[in-house]
Amino acid sequence: MVLDQDQVKPLAPANERALSPTMVDQYAAGSFYRRRRRSVLCVGCCLSTLVIVGVVVLVLALTVFKIKDPELTLNSITIDNLNLDPLTSNSLVSVNATLRTDVSIKNPNHASFRFGNSTTNFYYEGDTVGVAYAPSGKASAQRTLRMNVTVDVLIDQVASDSRLRRDLVNGAVNLTSYTELGGRVSVLGIVKKHIDIALNCSMTMDLSLTHQDINTNDCHARVH
Protein backbone atom coordinates (compact mmCIF):
# COMPACT_ATOMS: atom_id res chain seq x y z
CA MET A 1 0.00 0.00 0.00
CA VAL A 2 1.30 3.40 -0.86
CA LEU A 3 1.52 5.97 1.95
CA ASP A 4 -0.14 9.30 1.44
CA GLN A 5 2.56 11.79 0.51
CA ASP A 6 0.42 14.63 1.85
CA GLN A 7 -0.09 13.16 5.34
CA VAL A 8 0.13 15.99 7.94
CA LYS A 9 2.58 15.53 10.82
CA PRO A 10 1.12 16.16 14.33
CA LEU A 11 2.05 19.40 16.08
CA ALA A 12 4.21 19.32 19.20
CA PRO A 13 2.38 19.84 22.52
CA ALA A 14 2.16 23.49 23.66
CA ASN A 15 3.80 22.78 27.03
CA GLU A 16 6.90 21.49 25.35
CA ARG A 17 7.68 24.82 23.78
CA ALA A 18 11.13 26.16 24.72
CA LEU A 19 11.29 29.25 26.92
CA SER A 20 12.37 32.33 25.14
CA PRO A 21 15.44 34.23 26.39
CA THR A 22 13.20 37.06 27.58
CA MET A 23 11.17 34.75 29.80
CA VAL A 24 14.33 33.25 31.31
CA ASP A 25 15.66 36.68 32.12
CA GLN A 26 12.36 37.69 33.75
CA TYR A 27 12.30 34.55 35.89
CA ALA A 28 15.89 35.06 37.01
CA ALA A 29 15.23 38.70 37.84
CA GLY A 30 12.15 37.78 39.88
CA SER A 31 14.07 35.15 41.81
CA PHE A 32 16.85 37.65 42.53
CA TYR A 33 14.45 40.28 43.86
CA ARG A 34 12.70 37.70 46.04
CA ARG A 35 16.02 36.65 47.59
CA ARG A 36 16.98 40.28 48.03
CA ARG A 37 13.68 41.05 49.73
CA ARG A 38 14.14 38.16 52.16
CA SER A 39 17.65 39.38 52.94
CA VAL A 40 16.41 42.91 53.59
CA LEU A 41 13.67 41.61 55.88
CA CYS A 42 16.18 39.46 57.77
CA VAL A 43 18.58 42.38 58.22
CA GLY A 44 15.69 44.62 59.31
CA CYS A 45 14.58 42.10 61.93
CA CYS A 46 18.14 41.81 63.26
CA LEU A 47 18.52 45.59 63.47
CA SER A 48 15.15 45.93 65.20
CA THR A 49 16.17 43.29 67.74
CA LEU A 50 19.46 45.08 68.40
CA VAL A 51 17.65 48.39 68.88
CA ILE A 52 15.19 46.84 71.34
CA VAL A 53 18.01 45.16 73.28
CA GLY A 54 19.92 48.46 73.33
CA VAL A 55 16.90 50.34 74.67
CA VAL A 56 16.35 47.72 77.38
CA VAL A 57 20.02 47.86 78.41
CA LEU A 58 19.91 51.67 78.49
CA VAL A 59 16.78 51.68 80.65
CA LEU A 60 18.34 49.16 83.04
CA ALA A 61 21.56 51.18 83.18
CA LEU A 62 19.62 54.33 84.10
CA THR A 63 17.38 52.63 86.66
CA VAL A 64 18.21 49.23 88.09
CA PHE A 65 21.95 49.20 87.45
CA LYS A 66 22.56 52.84 88.40
CA ILE A 67 23.82 52.82 91.98
CA LYS A 68 22.83 55.80 94.10
CA ASP A 69 24.39 56.95 97.35
CA PRO A 70 22.62 55.79 100.55
CA GLU A 71 21.69 58.50 103.05
CA LEU A 72 22.84 58.40 106.68
CA THR A 73 20.76 60.57 109.01
CA LEU A 74 20.91 61.32 112.73
CA ASN A 75 17.22 61.63 113.59
CA SER A 76 17.43 62.42 117.29
CA ILE A 77 19.45 62.06 120.49
CA THR A 78 17.96 61.54 123.94
CA ILE A 79 19.50 61.53 127.40
CA ASP A 80 18.86 58.20 129.13
CA ASN A 81 20.91 58.99 132.22
CA LEU A 82 22.58 62.16 133.49
CA ASN A 83 25.10 62.49 136.29
CA LEU A 84 25.60 66.13 137.17
CA ASP A 85 27.45 66.80 140.44
CA PRO A 86 26.54 69.94 142.38
CA LEU A 87 28.49 72.97 141.28
CA THR A 88 30.08 74.19 144.50
CA SER A 89 33.44 75.72 145.26
CA ASN A 90 34.54 72.61 147.21
CA SER A 91 33.57 69.95 144.66
CA LEU A 92 34.88 68.96 141.28
CA VAL A 93 32.66 69.55 138.30
CA SER A 94 31.34 66.29 136.80
CA VAL A 95 29.09 65.96 133.78
CA ASN A 96 28.53 62.39 132.55
CA ALA A 97 25.59 61.19 130.50
CA THR A 98 24.26 58.14 128.70
CA LEU A 99 22.94 59.11 125.27
CA ARG A 100 20.73 57.13 122.91
CA THR A 101 21.02 58.03 119.25
CA ASP A 102 18.37 57.27 116.61
CA VAL A 103 20.08 56.78 113.25
CA SER A 104 18.56 55.86 109.89
CA ILE A 105 20.08 54.53 106.66
CA LYS A 106 18.00 55.18 103.55
CA ASN A 107 18.81 52.92 100.60
CA PRO A 108 17.38 54.23 97.28
CA ASN A 109 18.87 51.40 95.20
CA HIS A 110 17.18 48.35 93.68
CA ALA A 111 19.63 46.13 95.59
CA SER A 112 20.50 45.78 99.28
CA PHE A 113 23.16 47.95 100.92
CA ARG A 114 25.33 45.80 103.19
CA PHE A 115 27.46 47.69 105.69
CA GLY A 116 30.05 46.75 108.28
CA ASN A 117 30.56 47.79 111.88
CA SER A 118 30.46 51.55 112.37
CA THR A 119 31.74 53.94 115.02
CA THR A 120 30.51 57.30 116.24
CA ASN A 121 32.91 59.52 118.17
CA PHE A 122 31.66 62.32 120.43
CA TYR A 123 33.85 65.34 121.12
CA TYR A 124 33.85 68.15 123.64
CA GLU A 125 35.98 71.05 122.45
CA GLY A 126 38.04 68.70 120.28
CA ASP A 127 38.59 66.01 122.94
CA THR A 128 37.00 62.56 122.62
CA VAL A 129 34.43 62.02 125.38
CA GLY A 130 32.64 58.91 124.09
CA VAL A 131 32.56 56.29 121.36
CA ALA A 132 29.45 54.45 120.13
CA TYR A 133 29.66 51.17 118.23
CA ALA A 134 26.98 49.91 115.84
CA PRO A 135 26.91 46.35 114.43
CA SER A 136 26.97 45.42 110.77
CA GLY A 137 23.70 45.00 108.94
CA LYS A 138 21.73 45.36 105.75
CA ALA A 139 19.43 48.06 104.41
CA SER A 140 16.98 46.37 102.05
CA ALA A 141 16.34 47.67 98.55
CA GLN A 142 14.42 50.97 98.53
CA ARG A 143 13.91 50.80 102.29
CA THR A 144 15.03 52.80 105.32
CA LEU A 145 16.72 51.03 108.22
CA ARG A 146 16.60 52.62 111.69
CA MET A 147 19.00 51.81 114.50
CA ASN A 148 19.38 52.87 118.14
CA VAL A 149 22.90 53.20 119.51
CA THR A 150 23.79 53.94 123.15
CA VAL A 151 26.96 55.73 124.26
CA ASP A 152 28.36 56.93 127.58
CA VAL A 153 29.67 60.49 127.36
CA LEU A 154 32.26 61.28 130.08
CA ILE A 155 33.04 64.94 129.73
CA ASP A 156 34.79 65.43 133.06
CA GLN A 157 37.61 63.06 132.05
CA VAL A 158 39.03 65.45 129.49
CA ALA A 159 37.68 68.88 130.32
CA SER A 160 39.12 71.30 132.81
CA ASP A 161 36.90 72.61 135.59
CA SER A 162 37.03 76.11 134.17
CA ARG A 163 35.51 75.08 130.86
CA LEU A 164 32.80 72.99 132.45
CA ARG A 165 31.97 75.69 134.96
CA ARG A 166 31.59 78.18 132.18
CA ASP A 167 29.25 75.93 130.20
CA LEU A 168 27.20 74.95 133.24
CA VAL A 169 26.74 78.57 134.20
CA ASN A 170 25.38 79.11 130.70
CA GLY A 171 23.20 75.99 131.11
CA ALA A 172 24.46 74.24 127.96
CA VAL A 173 27.30 71.97 126.83
CA ASN A 174 28.17 71.86 123.12
CA LEU A 175 29.24 68.55 121.59
CA THR A 176 30.16 67.33 118.12
CA SER A 177 30.03 63.84 116.65
CA TYR A 178 31.66 62.05 113.74
CA THR A 179 30.28 58.80 112.27
CA GLU A 180 31.95 56.53 109.74
CA LEU A 181 30.01 53.85 107.85
CA GLY A 182 31.28 51.66 105.01
CA GLY A 183 29.34 49.24 102.86
CA ARG A 184 28.67 47.89 99.39
CA VAL A 185 25.84 47.68 96.88
CA SER A 186 25.82 44.76 94.42
CA VAL A 187 23.23 44.60 91.62
CA LEU A 188 22.77 40.98 90.45
CA GLY A 189 26.46 40.44 91.07
CA ILE A 190 27.21 42.45 87.91
CA VAL A 191 27.49 46.05 89.07
CA LYS A 192 29.25 46.55 92.41
CA LYS A 193 30.17 49.72 94.29
CA HIS A 194 31.85 50.30 97.64
CA ILE A 195 30.46 53.29 99.52
CA ASP A 196 31.87 55.14 102.54
CA ILE A 197 29.69 57.63 104.40
CA ALA A 198 30.94 60.21 106.90
CA LEU A 199 28.49 62.19 109.05
CA ASN A 200 29.45 65.25 111.09
CA CYS A 201 26.95 66.67 113.60
CA SER A 202 26.89 69.37 116.23
CA MET A 203 24.57 69.27 119.24
CA THR A 204 23.81 71.06 122.48
CA MET A 205 23.06 69.49 125.86
CA ASP A 206 20.60 71.61 127.82
CA LEU A 207 21.59 71.27 131.48
CA SER A 208 19.43 73.90 133.10
CA LEU A 209 17.97 73.23 136.53
CA THR A 210 14.46 72.80 135.15
CA HIS A 211 15.16 70.96 131.92
CA GLN A 212 17.74 68.47 130.65
CA ASP A 213 17.72 67.59 127.00
CA ILE A 214 19.94 67.40 123.93
CA ASN A 215 19.22 68.90 120.53
CA THR A 216 20.97 68.38 117.21
CA ASN A 217 21.93 71.69 115.66
CA ASP A 218 23.36 70.71 112.30
CA CYS A 219 24.56 67.64 110.36
CA HIS A 220 26.57 67.25 107.17
CA ALA A 221 27.03 63.96 105.34
CA ARG A 222 29.79 63.19 102.85
CA VAL A 223 29.86 60.15 100.57
CA HIS A 224 33.02 58.91 98.88
Rg (Cα) of the chain, in Å, rounded? 42
Candidate from 12-16, 18-22, 26-30, 185-189 with smallest mean pLDDT: 12-16
Nearest to 69 by CA among 38, 115, 29: 115
In a domain, 215, yes or no: yes
- Mean pLDDT for 37-60 is 77
| Positive or negative torsion for Cα 38, 39, 40, 41 | positive
| pLDDT of the residue at 109 | 93
- Residue 8 within any structural domain of the chain: no
Please write the tens of the pLDDT for every residue from 127-174: 899 999 999 999 999 999 999 999 998 887 776 767 777 888 888 889
Query: Structural domain tally of the chain?
Result: 2
Q: Which residues contact 95 (CB under 8 A, 6 or more apart)?
A: 83, 84, 85, 155, 156, 159, 164, 168, 173, 207
- Same domain? 36 vs 115: no
Domain that holds residue 90: 71-223
Rounded to the nearest 5 percent, the helix, strand and coil shares of the chain are 25, 45, 25
Answer yes or no: is 122 within a domain. yes
Res. 33: pLDDT tops 90: no
Mean pLDDT value across the chain: 81
Q: Say whether both 112 and 58 belong to one domain.
A: no
> Do residues 107 and 201 both lie within one domain?
yes
CATH of the domain at 84: 2.60.40
- Regarding whether 199 and 125 lie in a shared domain, the answer is yes
Interval 206-224 mean pLDDT: 85
Checking if the pLDDT of 70 tops 80, the result is yes
Tell me the whole-structure pTM to 2 decimals: 0.70
The answer to whether residues 212 and 157 belong to one domain is yes
